[in-house]
């Protein structure tokens, strides 16, 4: 079955056409700077070189139409379309076939992720209009976390407020965490039971997964909570918002922008890319050094929170941009956890591969893996399962 996977952001749209059974990727690409000057499409076909095409993309409708036009050159049928949606809210405990009703739900919960859900809903609508004969499936980042224990997702706020506004921990990166569990479980031959999944990229979160079921995660009502990220502050005292408003005279929108786009590693070091921060630290930049130390410290703290939700853990797996590619970041986090028996083999840690690999030291009490994520394949599997029915 050929599935087109679409990941629409506020000003971007990524796509990948793949065969679920063979895992062949026929084409993939990204539309960038949608609605902004200088928009372009990066497109790559299997066995070919990546092309950069300067194209005017005033809106997502234009972008998705261009994607369908360019995919005609691939000469492969599209049997189903899978849409990555950031926020499923209280409606999507699992992936679902798109109908008028389910599309309405994506829009209804959009206030929880306004920069993403509205654009994602628009793209879904366009796909349904252009190809009414092709089924669409929504795969939400929050679904994997939806059935975590009540004690883990409930906030200690007045019950009437919580119920009226559907306030709870929703988490994010659920599709990635679900894939990481699947990959780790296959790699270890079913010997993993309590996994701390570490999705570490510009956006970063951890998930506690016991025998395939989510027990807790670090992101909260929104993806701002938890770890220090590229431009997000992560967890801090909620009263900071009141202080910034009352004493700093910042508006709510200004605080929102500050905490989501101007904080995190960027605020600490002047860089949001971990590679630049590592280079700066090696060159003696104290701010970059502090940023790394804080990232190691905070990540290791929250790994132990995830372990507590399972009363221990036997495996941890690094994934996503930083987790898969930065041996220095992995080593720094492992050293913070050395007190409780986490050790990695520094030579194995330096090896780069697209496959799951074990970087544990022989005497490590916890198995440490690197597990490259593949959200597109996970989404495609859901499309195949649901449309196949």
Binding site for Mg(2+), by residue number, is: 7, 375
**357 phi and psi, to 5 degrees?**
-145, 150
What is the rounded distance in angstroms from the CA atom of residue 214 to the CA atom of residue 152? Answer: 10
Active site residue 141: yes
Q: Of residues 141, 214, 225, 382, which has the active-site annotation?
A: 141
Dump the DSSP string for 99-123: -HHHHHHHHHTGGGSTTTHHHHHHH
Binding positions for substrate are 84
What does residue 169 show for φ and ψ, rounded to 5 degrees? -80, 120
Other Cβ atoms less than 10 A from the Cβ of 320: the count is 23
Binding residues for ATP: 14, 199-203, 273-275, 321-325
Distance CA 112, CA 331 (A): 35
Q: Which residue has the tokens 């306004």?
A: 114
**Coil/strand/helix, residue 82:** strand
Q: Please give the annotated binding residues, written as ranges.
A: 7, 14, 84, 199-203, 273-275, 321-325, 375
* Strand order across the beta sheet in which 204-210 lies: 213-217, 204-210, 194-200, 315-319, 367-370, 357-358
**β-strand partners of 195:** 209, 315
The whole-angstrom separation of Cα 51 and Cα 14 is 14
Task: Identify which of 138, 65, 80, 150 has the alpha carbon closest to the alpha carbon of residue 106.
Answer: 138
Cα angle value 295/273/345 (rounded, 5°): 55
Beta-strand ranges (E) seen in 33-176 are: 40-45, 51-54, 80-85, 96-97, 135-140
Q: How many residues does the chain have?
A: 389
Residues classed as catalytic: 141
């Amino acid at each position: 079955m050929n599935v087109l996977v679409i990941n629409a952001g506020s000003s971007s749209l990524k796509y990948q056409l793949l065969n679920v059974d063979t895992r062949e990727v026929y084409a993939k690409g990204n539309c960038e700077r949608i609605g902004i000057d200088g928009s372009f499409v990066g497109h790559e076909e299997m066995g070919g070189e990546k092309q950069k095409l300067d194209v005017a993309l005033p809106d997502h409708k234009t972008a998705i139409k261009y994607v369908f036009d360019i995919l005609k050159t691939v000469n492969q049928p599209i049997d189903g379309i899978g849409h990555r949606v950031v926020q499923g809210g209280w409606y999507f405990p699992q992936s679902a076939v798109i109908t008028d009703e389910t599309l309405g739900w994506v829009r209804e919960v959009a206030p929880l992720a306004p920069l993403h859900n509205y654009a994602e809903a628009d793209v879904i609508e366009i796909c349904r209009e252009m190809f009414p004969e092709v089924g669409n499936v929504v795969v939400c980042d929050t679904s994997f976390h939806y059935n975590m224990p009540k004690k883990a997702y409930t906030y200690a706020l007045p019950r009437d407020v919580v119920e009226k506004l559907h306030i709870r921990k929703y988490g994010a990166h659920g599709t990635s965490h679900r894939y990481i569990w699947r990959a780790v479980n296959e790699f270890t031959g079913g010997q993993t039971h309590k996994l701390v999944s570490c999705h570490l990229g510009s956006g970063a979160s951890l998930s506690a997964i016991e025998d395939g079921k989510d027990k807790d995660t670090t992101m909260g009502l929104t993806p701002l909570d938890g770890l220090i990220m590229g431009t997000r502050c992560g967890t801090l005292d909620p009263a900071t918002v009141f202080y910034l408003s009352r004493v700093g005279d910042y508006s709510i929108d200004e605080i929102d922008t500050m905490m989501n786009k101007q904080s995190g590693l960027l605020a600490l070091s002047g860089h949001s890319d971990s590679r630049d921060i590592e280079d700066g630290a090696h060159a003696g930049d104290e701010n970059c050094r502090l940023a790394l130390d804080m990232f190691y410290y905070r990540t290791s703290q929250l790994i132990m929170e995830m372990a507590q939700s399972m009363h221990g853990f036997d495996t941890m797996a690094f994934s996503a941009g930083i987790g898969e590619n930065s041996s220095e970041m992995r080593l720094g986090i492992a050293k913070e956890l050395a007190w409780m028996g986490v050790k990695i083999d520094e030579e194995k840690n330096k090896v780069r591969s697209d496959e799951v690999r074990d970087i544990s030291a022989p005497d490590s009490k916890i198995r440490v893996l690197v597990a490259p994520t593949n959200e597109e394949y996970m989404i495609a599997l859901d499309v195949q399962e649901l449309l196949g029915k």
